[in-house]
Amino acid sequence: MTRPLLKPPLTFKIFLYAATFCLGTMFSTLVSAQSNPDVIQKNSDAMDAYANLEIETALRLLKEAEQICIDNNISGPQMARTLVNRGVVEMGGNGDNAVAMEYFKKALCHDSAVMLDPLNSTPEMADLFSGAHAQVKSQGCDGIGPASEAGADSSMDDLLGTPPVGTTPVAPVPEPPTSQPERPVASGVSQPVEVVNDVLRHTSVTEQKRMVPIPFYVVTNSDVDVASVVTFYRTVGERIFQQLPLVQKGDGWSAYIECDVLTTLDPSAIEYYIAVTDESGQLLATAGSEAQPFTIQIGHSISSEPPSVPGEAPLPACQEDCPPWNPDCNARNCGKYAELCSDDEPCCSGMACVDGVCEEAGSQPKGKPGAMTARVRLFVNGGVGLGLVPKEEYTADDFPNKRSVAAIGSDNPGIGFSKLHFRVGAMIPLTEKLEVGANFRGDLPLFAEFYDALVPSIIANVAYRIAGSNAESGFQMYGVAGFGWVQIMHRIPFKDCKSWIELKPGESAEDVVCKYDNWKDISNEQVETTGFRRAGYLGVELGFDMNYWFTRNVGLNVGTIFDITFPKNFTINLDLQMGLALRF
């Protein structure tokens, strides 16, 4: 006989229904508190934007997702996924490894089981993410973010590493920082390579102590217009190079990989190369290349003298763990914008010491060490000239010192020397290379009895520097063009009568006439003499003006100037001159 099943009492049914309702309500509340469809959608849209290279849009959406999590007290996987995605975009889109590291660490503190999305990550990101995991495991989440809520009874040891069998998982207590395990002497160190070409000179850095800033130093050719020198560097294994602009200082260009990078990445080796560009961004030269960079091995000790910038003491080692109340503990004492500076008190990175004051590096004149801003330039010089004298017939009207009224002619064009001359000019800078000004040209007062004493010319000029730089000393060359009132006297030889009628009272030299009308037929009545042919009165100038500065204010000026004159007696003249150059 089969015994019938007993029916549960009514009170038990009521209890069972009530318990089921309460558990369901609690579960749905927990799920709704830790899951938000808006967060999921914004993460999805953000990574789609990242895939389409819309970096700003991706960052905006992730910021909005993070704010939703904060406003709704959402922790755990959703917040962790948002922070991981933020780190991926910062590294892959902006190339900012340091910021990405911080987001990865925050994500791991919200959920230690979070992982990179393989569709949006690279091997370099995986390496950085592993580094963040190691730091969170060793240092905990104090000051970073909440620990993961993967389980009610889980501790950080459970989440970041399985404890030994038989031990009771406990949350870690932050301890004072301990030193890293000693790294051996940097291995695989290559010999320094000295790169020398027409633009730069650089000796490669091959090794450096751990947590000590790494210096880079380059000397550029003063005859080349260099606008920027940049070091491209990355830790070994990374794909993207970071940029480190060098600042012109002392005898060259220098910069450091400083503590903010070293304490974040703690690299075992760094690859780098250096690029030099002009003002238009055109690449002038490199030391190393992206395909074949130099390698710096990093260890606790090195086999040679530590690298340094000439004239500067090596920077002190970094403090690995800055206290929360002093995040700038590794910041070097340096001059900010508009603060006073000197060799002993340098300016901060990205600044340059110009005339004892810190300015933005871009405002410092580029070129030779000791560069300064363009200044007013003066010159006083003198010299000789020679010009093309065309075939022409001359009379006494052309040569005031000619006694004979007979016309004389030049059968063939030739070269005639001009009178000794001098020039005085001033040039005012409009830019670092372009100048405008004027110069006065005059003849030395020779043969003043018959000809004008100075024969003045006034020319407006424009000059452009094509070689050299605005340095305290050294060479400069300018291309010069001009237009103005130009008169040039060329020496023309001719035969004249030897004897003339004595002047009567009241007569002038213009009234002198030959004593014999047939003096051309009498050999001993002929004399070789010289007159000066005037050309002008308008003229165009083209040429080169060169300076060699001995000091900041005094130098040597040398010029070669072509003058083309018209409409009277067309000629092409070349002036060769030398003198004093001044600038203020």
Residue 323 main-chain phi, psi, to 5 deg:
-65, 150
pLDDT top residue among 134 and 535? 535
Residue 444's pLDDT is 83
Q: Which of 249-263, 390-404, 463-477, 546-560 has the lowest mean pLDDT?
A: 390-404
Give the C-alpha separation, 505 to 515, whole Å: 17
Give the C-alpha separation, 532 to 401, whole Å: 9
The two counts, helices (H) then strands (E), for the chain are 8, 24
Residue 54 CA, chain-centre distance (Å), reads: 28
Give the pLDDT band of residue 448 (cuts 50, 70, 90): low
Across 85-94, 114-123, 459-468, the highest mean pLDDT is recorded for 459-468
Contact 460, 483 (CB under 8 A): yes
Q: Is the pLDDT of residue 161 over 80?
A: no
Looking at the DSSP bridge assignments, the partners of residue 484 are 459, 539
Q: Cα–Cα distances in Å, from 574 out to 484, 547, 579?
A: 16, 19, 17
Q: Is the pLDDT of residue 276 over 60?
A: yes
Residue 529's pLDDT is 84
Closest CA to 455 of 502, 491, 421: 421
Looking at the DSSP bridge assignments, the partners of residue 274 are 231, 287
Residue 409's pLDDT is 65
- Average pLDDT of span 495-520: 77
What amino acid occupies position 425?
G
pLDDT per residue as tens digits for the range 41-83: 999 899 989 888 889 999 999 999 999 999 988 888 889 999 9
Q: Is 357 left (phi over 0), alpha (psi -120 to 50) or beta?
A: beta
Q: Is the pLDDT of residue 147 over 80?
A: no
Percent of the chain with pLDDT over 90: 32
Q: Is the pLDDT of residue 362 over 60?
A: no
Closest CA to 91 of 119, 125, 127, 129: 125
Residue 328's pLDDT is 59
Q: Cα–Cα distances in Å, from 497 out to 134, 397, 514?
A: 109, 16, 6
Closest CA to 418 of 481, 325, 491, 479: 491
Supply angle C-alpha 154, 157, 158, rounded to 5: 40
Residue 98 main-chain phi, psi, to 5 deg:
-65, -45
Contact 520, 448 (CB under 8 A): no
Q: What is the DSSP string of 307-371?
A: P--TTSPPPPPP-SS--TT-TTTTPPP-B-TT-B--SSSPBPTTEEEETTEEEEGGGSPPSSTTB
Domains of the chain (ranges; CATH) run: 31-160 (1.25.40.10), 194-306 (2.60.40.10), 377-583 (2.40.160.20)
Give the C-alpha separation, 225 to 146, whole Å: 54
Looking at the DSSP bridge assignments, the partners of residue 494 are 529
Contact 224, 198 (CB under 8 A): yes
Residue 506's pLDDT is 73
Give the C-alpha separation, 169 to 310, whole Å: 55
Contact 399, 405 (CB under 8 A): no
Give the C-alpha separation, 311 to 287, whole Å: 22
- Average pLDDT of span 419-446: 91
Contact 494, 466 (CB under 8 A): no
Give the pLDDT band of residue 36 (cuts 50, 70, 90): confident
pLDDT per residue as tens digits for the range 411-429: 556 788 888 999 999 999 9
Give the pLDDT band of residue 98 (cuts 50, 70, 90): confident
Q: Is the pLDDT of residue 175 over 90?
A: no
Please, what is the average pLDDT of the chain?
A: 79
Q: What is the DSSP string of 499-516?
A: -BPPPPTT--GGG--BS-
Q: What per-residue string of b and e applies to 473-488 under the rule 16 or more CB within 10 Å gives b?
A: ebbbbbebebebebbb
Give the C-alpha separation, 392 to 383, whole Å: 27
Residue 555's pLDDT is 95
Contact 155, 149 (CB under 8 A): no
Interacting residues of 366 by C-beta distance below 8 A, sequence separation 6+: 225, 226, 227, 228, 248, 279, 469
Residue 166's pLDDT is 37
> Six-digit token pair at 461?
């000029």
Pairing of strands 377-389, 457-468: unpaired
Residue 231 main-chain phi, psi, to 5 deg:
-95, 125
Pairing of strands 207-209, 294-299: parallel
Residue 323's pLDDT is 58
Q: Is the pLDDT of residue 7 over 60?
A: no
Give the pLDDT band of residue 337 (cuts 50, 70, 90): low
What amino acid occupies position 519?
W
Interacting residues of 120 by C-beta distance below 8 A, sequence separation 6+: 47, 50, 51, 85, 88, 92
> Six-digit token pair at 162?
């399985």
pLDDT top residue among 415 and 351? 415
pLDDT top residue among 463 and 29? 463
Give the C-alpha separation, 161 to 145, whole Å: 19
DSSP reduced 3-state for 258: coil
- Average pLDDT of span 382-387: 92
Across 411-415, 477-481, 490-494, the highest mean pLDDT is recorded for 477-481
